[in-house]
């Protein structure tokens, strides 16, 4: 495991490379135009093939045919550290459930909340389809003459609703199974699997 390093003022990832040669690097992350530093950090760690270790905020990594070692998060708030850790914990839970590639998790955005619960998307798609079908039928029957070619709207939107439902149903099955696994273990529900996050 890496030793203690000198404190830094910036948020970032300190890398302790152990192969092919010993080296130490620090990669700083700042809030971007749309993504906060923690989201940029998650992307960086995912690309490096990072995995959680026994030490909180320390990750092992092994980039194929390039390098391996440990990475430690520095300068982040406790909330940011927990969000980053939860992201990788949810990935691990997906793998435990037999998903080689678990459904992608949404990253946090600056000033904008992201819905991680798939249930509202399934419900929204299901609720939108009947009125659109009725609108199509009435329009084609000539009962809405003043709206002319309004039948084009349902023809375009219904396939999108069906696609949204299909994509979210797959995610919903995974989400329900992941939550059940966490509950069965009596563990804290990670961010990303909560009913409201």
Structure confidence at residue 8 (pLDDT): 47
pLDDT digits (tens, 9 = 90+) for 99-156: 999 998 999 999 887 889 999 999 999 999 999 999 888 888 877 766 667 778 888 9
Structure confidence at residue 147 (pLDDT): 60
From residue 4, give the alpha-carbon distance in Å to each of 13, 28, 39, 166: 13, 18, 25, 48
Structure confidence at residue 5 (pLDDT): 47
Average pLDDT over the chain, rounded to an integer? 91
Cβ atoms of 91 and 104 closer than 8 Å: no
Structure confidence at residue 69 (pLDDT): 97
pTM: 0.84
């Amino acid at each position: 495991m890496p030793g203690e390093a000198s404190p830094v003022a910036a948020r970032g990832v300190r890398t302790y490379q152990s192969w092919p040669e010993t080296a130490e690097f620090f990669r700083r992350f700042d809030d971007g135009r749309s993504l906060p530093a923690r989201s940029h950090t998650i992307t960086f760690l995912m690309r490096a093939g990072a995995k959680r270790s026994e030490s909180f905020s320390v990750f092992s990594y092994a980039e194929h045919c390039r390098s391996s070692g440990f990475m430690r998060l520095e300068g982040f708030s406790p909330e940011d550290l927990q969000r980053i850790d939860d992201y990788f914990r949810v990935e691990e839970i997906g793998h435990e459930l037999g998903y080689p590639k678990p459904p992608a998790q949404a990253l946090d955005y600056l000033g904008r909340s992201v819905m991680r619960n798939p249930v509202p998307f399934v419900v929204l798609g299901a609720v939108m389809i009947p009125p659109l079908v009725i609108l199509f039928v009435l329009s084609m029957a000539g009962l809405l003459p003043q709206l002319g070619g309004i039948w084009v709207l349902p023809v375009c939107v219904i396939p999108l609703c069906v696609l949204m439902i299909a994509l979210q149903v797959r995610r919903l099955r995974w989400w329900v199974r992941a939550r059940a696994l966490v509950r069965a273990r009596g563990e804290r529900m990670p961010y990303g699997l909560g009913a409201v996050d």
